[in-house]
Amino acid sequence: MFELGVVKRNISRADRVAADTLGRFGASTVHEAMGRVGLMKPYMRPIYSGARISGTAVTVLLQPGDNWMMHVVAEQIHEGDIVVAAVTSENTDGFFGDLLATSFMARGARGLVIDGGCRDVKDLTEMGFPVWCKAISSKGTIKSTLGSVNIPVVCAGMWVNPGDVIVADDDGVVVVPAAMAVATADAAAKREANEGEKRAKLAAGVLGLDMYNMREPLAKAGLKYID
């Protein structure tokens, strides 16, 4: 949040296999696998439902009402990246639309996560370019003031370093620090393996109370049943 006017070209991206694998599990499972941390605020919503992506973050810090740096970040996108855009103050302007999406897709981006507004949502939906944002707005922006590219940013309440893994779907957006990507992918895989069996039991009518052995701790905590 502290260096304006800087573009970092060489960033260290998280392990590619881990970055790709994490998307399979989705935001909720990955968030749990990290120990229930890493989640952006729930006001971040997808512009269309059903998308689930993961990739490595390239970051951009924008000024309110100004999308100049979106063109600068485009050049820094590698295949498999997700752009994460923060703004220096609260602003819902439409920083991003179908032309920028065309450019981002051509560079290999898998999606955009922006703590601001987005427009051309019908076109973006038809193009299949997913965006998580805090508002949808036609409001145009100018190209006048410098921000930065590939510096650490706070986006929707979560710290993002360039190269971190982003996992985004209908449940929200999770950030996995690059150094934790492989371990988190393993932990998520274990969680999921576990869930199939649990799901079968619950579907058969077994109660979580029994499956998780909760009756005793509940009684100990003082839970009383009355008729």
**Type of residue numbered 107:** R
Nearest residue to 113 via CA among 62, 72, 68: 62
Q: Contact with a second copy (CB under 8 A): which of 6, 12, 78, 190?
A: 6
Sites for a second copy among residues 93-112 (CB under 8 A): 93-94, 97-100, 102-103, 105-107
CB of 215 to a second copy, least distance (A): 9
**CB-based contacts of 38, cutoff 8 Å, min separation 6:** 30, 31, 158, 174, 175, 176, 177
Stretch 31-90 residues interacting with a second copy (CB under 8 A): 31-32, 34-39, 41-42, 45, 48-50, 52, 63-66, 68, 70-72, 74-75, 88-90
Residue in 12, 17, 128, 138 binding a second copy, rule: CB under 8 A: 138
The amino acid present at 151, given as its one-letter code, is I
Contact of 150 with 8, CB cutoff 8 Å: yes
Under the binding rule (CB under 8 A), the answer on residue 198 touching a second copy is yes
Which 140-169 positions form the footprint of a second copy (CB under 8 A)?
140, 142-146, 152, 154, 157-159, 169
How far apart are CB 126 and a second copy at their closest, in Å? 10
Evaluate the CA torsion angle 163, 180, 27, 25 in order and state its sign: positive
